[in-house]
Chain A
Amino acid sequence: MSKHVAVIGAGIVGLGIAAEATRRGHHATIIDPAPAAGATYAAAGMLAPVSELHYQEERLLALTRESARLYPGFVAGLGETGYQETGTLVAAFDAADRAMLADLKQAQLAEGLEVHEITSREARRLEPSLGPALTGAFYAPGDHQVDPRALSAALLTMLRNSGTAVVSETAAGLITDADGAVVGVQLASGEVIPADETVVANGLAAAALTGLPEGLRLPLRPVYGDILRLRVPAGLQPFLTSTIRGIVRGHPVYLVPRGDGTVVIGATQREDGSADVSAGGVYQLLRDAQTLVPAVAELALEEMTCRARPGTPDNAPLLGRVAAGTEGLPGLVVATGFFRHGVLLTPVAARICADLIDGVQIAAQLQQFNPDRFSNMTKESHA
């Protein structure tokens, strides 16, 4: 049965969900005053379930691995998305950095992930731009990349071509019927967009929507990141072929080479409340990137960007139906709080949301991220 799906938020996640719903024969409307201009605009696009593994976040791994597996099919037919299946090199600067990565490797192997310890000499043979001052390196062949700006543009084009309306307005809230079911979206202008299913995918702004279910708490907080884009002069091409991640005196940094001859260097994590690019953050990124790859100093600094990631208390997304333990609140799907993993998790989030809309059973391990897990909602209130 074809449904009308309203998607609030045209970041990478919202676009992905709208695209998947459209592919399945539903009719989508996307609501966002500035599509793909938030965290998506800043993101480096690393698809790195292996090197992004953090202690205490193992639960997220089922989701990140599944999404990485879905990526080739997700980008197929979209045209230019910058999707590349080159692996990721992880480099350690000092002995403690190396020990930290060696410990993490044990955790990665225990999870069945593929990572190889290589010598710094081998790493430099693969990537001659790496500096000589490394203590060790690891290779994660399964960690790939996509260009989030290209991917979101391709998704928008595909959606527009398939007749999806993109409403350039701010969503004010949800419209509910007498039983509490969500039946549409109210725009800031007052206009109402009726919908069979409404997907809340507007990142940090989700918590401010009116008409959210009684008692639902979406504990989102802005975790700002500074990120740089640099151009490699002709004389230095090819600069890097694979993504380089590093730990430099305990600070993480990454360099992602794009097909268009640019390099993305990121990213800081700040909770200081400032949406401006931080001079200290830029300094730290360039310093650490140049420590790993000395020729960074020869590149042209084209862009400095700051955006906020939507963080949650457990670093995992708020994804699914509200009160899913019971029947689930009809008409509403939440997909926000993707924090560092929005780009990577887009295909799996799109599939899960489309499955929820279609009433398809979802694997238990992908279902642990209910959006009301931080709320005290009595089951009766939605019975």
Chain B
Amino acid sequence: MDELMIDGVTLGSRLIMGTGGAPSLDGLGEALLASGTELTTVAMRRYAAGSGTSVFDLLERHGIRVLPNTAGCYTAREAVMTAELGREALETNWVKLEVIADEETLLPDAVELVEATEALVNRGFKVFAYTNDDPVLARRLELLGAAAVMPLGAPIGTGLGILNPHNIELIVSRAGIPVVLDAGIGTASDAALAMELGCDAVLLATAVTRAQHPVRMAEAFKHAVIAGRLAATGGRIPKREHALASSSFAGRPDL
């Protein structure tokens, strides 16, 4: 599969994983390996770095790059502080920016998100902005200097799939930076669809970590993302009203 380039870094896998909801560190490690991911996001508010036995050490051991995130932040101020915490602890200026509006929906708060993106870009962060499936907002985030936009397929943890494929397509068609479908993925076909819609990568956590067989699901997503990417660039056939025989009649003997 063609490689994904973000901020000058080349990633061989277009599947970005999250760690939330994992039942055990070992189970998480096996699932991450099965997914083939090279980039995994960790909530800075939920995990302390540097104990030698934490999720960060697990990622380091498996050679997986860490993408700190600001999950659990409700205001731009909290998000900026949490991002700084991640930069200091993990020595990366990448951050997945998550500013949510309420616990019920965990939807991004557009106004706070815009403010935090601007502040973090000014502070030298490479911002991966978790955003609504709103093409106008996605464009705004890009203009403010985001390194990638991450529109949701559906609210976090719902597994409802991609609720507005048209908007995702529209975001992709207007974006000059990588578009990562983030949140809402339930099963493999959702991830394949995201890639077919033109997304550059897919980010998911719950669909693997809370599955009954996380390793099997992780492997399914690995293949789904590859399949979706290949299909997106393979030139799909037009949809037709009427059947069209797959073998042409031309050249057959007329008996």
Contact = CB atoms under 8 A, between A and B. Distances in A.
A221 B54 contact: yes
Contacts of B48: 271-274
B212 A103 contact: yes
Interface stretch (B4-12, B18-26, B168-176): B18-26
Interface string B24-46: 11110100000000000000011
A54 B23 contact: yes
Given A56-B214, A107-B212, A271-B46, A221 B24 contact: no
Given A271-B55, A273-B48, A313 B23 contact: no
B249 interface: no
A213 interface: no
A220 interface: yes
**Size category of the binding interface on chain B:** 10 to 19
Contacts of A314: 24-27
A55 B46 contact: no
Contacts of B24: 56-57, 313-315
A250 interface: yes
A313 B26 contact: yes
A219 interface: yes
Given A107-B212, A220-B53, A272-B48, A250 B157 contact: yes
Contact of A315 (B23, B46, B54): B23
Contacts of A270: 46
Interface in A5-47: none
B28 to A, nearest CB: 9
B246 interface: no
Given A107-B212, A250-B157, A271-B54, A56 B27 contact: yes
A148 interface: no
A311 B23 CA distance: 11
Judged by DSSP, the binding face of B is loop
A221 B46 contact: no
Contacts of B27: 56, 314
Interface in B213-240: 213-214
A30 to B, nearest CB: 26
Contacts of A54: 23
A221 B214 contact: no
Nearest to B28: A313
A353 B214 CA distance: 34
Contacts of A271: 46-48, 54-55
A55 B214 CA distance: 9
B51 interface: yes
B47 A272 contact: yes
Given A107-B212, A272-B48, A55 B23 contact: yes
Contact of A55 (B25, B45, B47, B212): B212
A222 B54 CA distance: 9
Given A250-B157, A272-B45, A272-B46, A221 B23 contact: no
Contact of B51 (A273, A274, A313): A273
A219 B212 contact: no
Contact of A219 (B46, B53, B55): B53
Given A54-B23, A272-B45, A313-B53, 7 more contacts: A55-B213, A56-B24, A107-B212, A221-B53, A270-B46, A273-B48, A314-B27
Interface of A: 54-57, 103, 107, 219-222, 250, 270-274, 311-315
26 contacts: A55-B214, A56-B23, A57-B23, A57-B24, A103-B212, A107-B212, A219-B53, A221-B25, A221-B53, A221-B54, A222-B51, A270-B46, A271-B54, A272-B47, A272-B48, A273-B51, A311-B25, A312-B25, A313-B24, A313-B26, A313-B29, A313-B53, A313-B58, A314-B24, A315-B24, A315-B26
What are the 8 closest A-B residue pairs judged by CB atoms, nearest first? A273-B48, A221-B53, A313-B25, A314-B26, A313-B26, A315-B24, A219-B53, A271-B47
